Structure 1
Amino acid sequence: MNAQISRDERDHQTEAPETRRGVAPAVDIFENKTELLIVADLPGVGPGDIAVRLDKNELTIAGKRASAPEGNALAVEGRPGDFSRTFLVPQGIVADGITAEVAQGVLKVRLPKVSSQKPRQIAVKAS
């Protein structure tokens, strides 16, 4: 299931980290038996500045990073401005179960998988 996301990510790794809308955030993608987990580094971005949208099979994380506070910056790794990142979501994801939360500059988007149903024996009754 993760192959689609992984392949899509590899295809985009040769591109510059900038997109038409700004700088694409760095992400890690994990998979276990019950879900896919997308972890995005978004330092300085609060929940009100992030939008997570699912449109058919495309999940987009977009938002705006605020300008740095005034003063002399000693180190700046995250540029202010708009950002966006889009992923192709494989089949087998429960769209209504997708959740997103941000804490301490890290966004976690959980995409639950459809639970596989085990085969069961169905009794045949005489009528």
Structure 2
Amino acid sequence: MSNLVKSPKNGSLTRRVNNPVTGFPSLSSWLDDFGIGEFPSLFSSNFNTGMSLPKVNIKESADAFDVEMAVPGLKKSDFKINLENNSLSISAELNDEKEETNDGYTRREFGYSSFKRMFTLPDTVDDSKINAEYKEGILKVHLPKREEAKEKPPRNIKIS
């Protein structure tokens, strides 16, 4: 059997070494296969609201900041995006109620979940031009920079 290289969540590489005598994986590699390393992420959810905080990517370019939030299964109308005192807040609330009746049995389930993420905006953001779109489970918020904050291309200065 060959050695396998596994990339854990922290980004470093670890080497999975099989037992040289039997050729079977070591006990620690079996525990990795059962997802024991996933338990800390179970406890990172926001238990007060019933929904874990969605993952966010923030990208800065010369002209803007772009925020992408992975929130599949929601509708555009589920979101609230507010700007107050240089703080951008993105939140959503879901009320889910289902009732099934089948052969005399009735089952009714309901749930409530929400999240709220807040970001402090730098002074370079032009808050009058912020826009957002939701498409295929990704909420994108575009935060354009003020004209004076945008990077200027290099230029030659003539000597007189």
**TM-score, length basis structure 1:** 0.65
Match of 1:94 among 113, 126, 129: 126
The answer to whether 1:18 aligns with 2:50 is no
Question: Which residue of 2 is the match for residue 62 of structure 1?
Answer: 91
3-state SS in 1 of match to 2:74: coil
**What is residue 121 of structure 1 aligned with on the other side?**
none
In structure 2, what residue type is equivalent to 1:18?
N
1:17: Cα distance to partner?
A: 3.6
Contact kept? 1:44, 1:66, Cα under 8 Å: no
Deviations 1:42-91 (A, max 9, x none): 10111100011111111000012464988xxxxxxxx9611110011111
Which structure has more RCO (C-alpha within 8 Å, separation ≥ 6)? 1
- Which residue of 1 is the match for residue 146 of structure 2? 114
Identity %: 28
- Residue 19 to residue 113, structure 1, CA distance change in 2 (3 Å): farther
1:44 to 58, 68, 73: 73
Rounded to whole Å, the distance in 2 between the matches of 1:69 and 1:105 is 23
Does the CA contact (< 8 Å) of 1:45 and 1:66 recur in 2?
Answer: no
Q: Secondary structure at the match of 1:59?
A: strand
Paired residue for 1:75? none
Please report the RMSD computed on the Cα atoms of aligned residues, expressed in angstroms.
2.7
Q: CA deviation at 1:23?
A: 2.4
Task: Mark the runs of 5 or more structure 1 residues left unpaired by the alignment.
Answer: 1-14, 71-78, 119-127
Residue ranges of structure 2 left out of the alignment (5+ in a row): 1-42, 100-110, 153-160
- Higher Rg of the two aligned structures: 2
1:53 paired to 2:85: no
Q: Secondary structure at the match of 1:96?
A: helix
